[in-house]
């Protein structure tokens, strides 16, 4: 079933008259702007979710790549955890997989964060065991969310994503990180992940780095087929 969340972000821009003008060309005012975003999403529940009514479950937030963007929600089933679910794989945690509606725009991470908060509040989710992962453009968005919301996630796994190296130190130092990248990636070169991993390790972060020799941009095929990744997620819990 296709669900939508409409997000209204109120941004304040300061531009209107000040009490003391220093220049006739410079004014100081404010204007309220409203940005609206509609996000379709899949939400997966573990097989025993309804049987364990007194328990809270971990949740994995998955952000897809550019090829799955648009308005066809079924496109999400072509890669990552949604593909594995469609093939019959069972997971021990909830999986939230939103869709970026814009073919040629970056993820609206503020919208994703509000969607995530809404799902968490309306389901039995353990807030200390929220995991984050993404591939390609979604991998870049996952790095961005780890920086913007450092106290939200218990673990992060990024596959071939663009990296915000200068802001590496903003990530929660207590959060374990696992990075995957193909050595022959011509879309987002492995040097992106190498620089980020080296920066994080230099700052004392707990980072695992898996390189795939001879593999191009689609390193997510191997990464999300790695059963150890999901076992690793399940071992992580956010430390206050």
What tokens does 226 get? 């790695």
Q: Which residues have a Cβ under 8 Å from the Cβ of 203 and sit 6 or more positions away?
A: 168, 169, 173
For the segment 23-54, what is each residue's pLDDT rounded down to a tens digit? 578 889 999 988 888 999 999 999 999 999 99
Asked if residue 106 is part of any domain, the answer here is: yes
Place of tokens 């050595």: 183
Asked if residue 152 is part of any domain, the answer here is: yes
Q: Of 176, 171, 170, 178, which Cα lies nearest the Cα of 154? A: 176
Strand order in the sheet with 207-212: 3-16, 28-44, 94-98, 57-63, 125-135, 155-159, 177-182, 207-212
Report the Cα 3 to chain-centroid distance in Å: 19
Residue span of the structural domain in which 171 resides: 39-234
| Segments in the chain below pLDDT 70 | 1-23
Asked if residue 182 is part of any domain, the answer here is: yes
pLDDT of residue 17: 40
Q: What's the number of domains the chain is made of?
A: 1
Q: Which residues have a Cβ under 8 Å from the Cβ of 14 and sit 6 or more positions away?
A: 28, 29, 30
Specify the CATH number for the domain of residue 155. Answer: 3.40.50.1820
| Residues 75 and 103 sit within 8 Å (Cβ to Cβ) | no
**155-159 and 125-135 beta bridge pairing:** parallel
Neighbours of 111 (CB within 10 A): 22
Residue 227 host element (H or E): helix 227-234
pLDDT of residue 23: 53
Asked if residue 9 is part of any domain, the answer here is: no
pLDDT of residue 234: 98
Asked if residue 218 is part of any domain, the answer here is: yes
**57-63 and 94-98 beta bridge pairing:** parallel
Q: Of 88, 81, 86, 183, which Cα lies nearest the Cα of 133? A: 81
Q: Which residues have a Cβ under 8 Å from the Cβ of 3 and sit 6 or more positions away?
A: 40, 41, 43
pLDDT of residue 142: 98
Asked if residue 32 is part of any domain, the answer here is: no
Asked if residue 80 is part of any domain, the answer here is: yes
Asked if residue 20 is part of any domain, the answer here is: no
Place of tokens 């620089």: 195
Q: Which residues have a Cβ under 8 Å from the Cβ of 77 and sit 6 or more positions away?
A: 83, 85, 86
pLDDT of residue 5: 43
CA distances (Å), origin 184, targets 36, 130, 238 = 38, 31, 34
pLDDT of residue 239: 80
């Amino acid at each position: 079933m296709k669900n939508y969340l409409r997000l209204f972000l109120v941004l304040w821009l300061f531009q209107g008259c000040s009490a003391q003008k220093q220049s006739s060309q410079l004014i100081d005012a404010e204007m309220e702007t409203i940005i609206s975003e509609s996000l379709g999403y899949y939400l997966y529940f573990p097989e025993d979710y309804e049987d364990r009514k007194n328990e809270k479950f971990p949740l994995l937030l998955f952000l897809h790549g550019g090829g799955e963007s648009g308005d066809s929600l079924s496109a999400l089933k072509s890669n990552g955890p949604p593909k594995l679910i469609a093939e019959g794989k069972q997971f021990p945690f909830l999986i939230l997989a939103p869709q970026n509606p814009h073919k040629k725009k970056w993820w609206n991470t503020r919208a994703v964060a509000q969607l995530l908060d809404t799902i968490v509040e309306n389901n039995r989710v353990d807030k200390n065991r929220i995991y984050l992962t993404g591939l390609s453009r979604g991998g870049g968005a996952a790095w961005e969310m780890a920086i913007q919301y450092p106290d939200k996630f218990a673990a992060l796994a990024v596959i071939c994503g663009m990296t915000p190296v200068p802001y590496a130190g903003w990530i929660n130092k207590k959060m374990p990180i696992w990075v995957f990248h193909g050595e022959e990636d011509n879309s987002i070169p492995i040097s992106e992940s190498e620089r980020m991993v080296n920066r994080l390790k230099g700052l004392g972060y707990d980072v695992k780095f898996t390189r795939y020799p001879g593999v191009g941009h689609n390193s997510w095929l191997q990464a999300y087929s790695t059963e150890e990744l999901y076992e690793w997620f399940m071992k992580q819990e956010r430390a206050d």
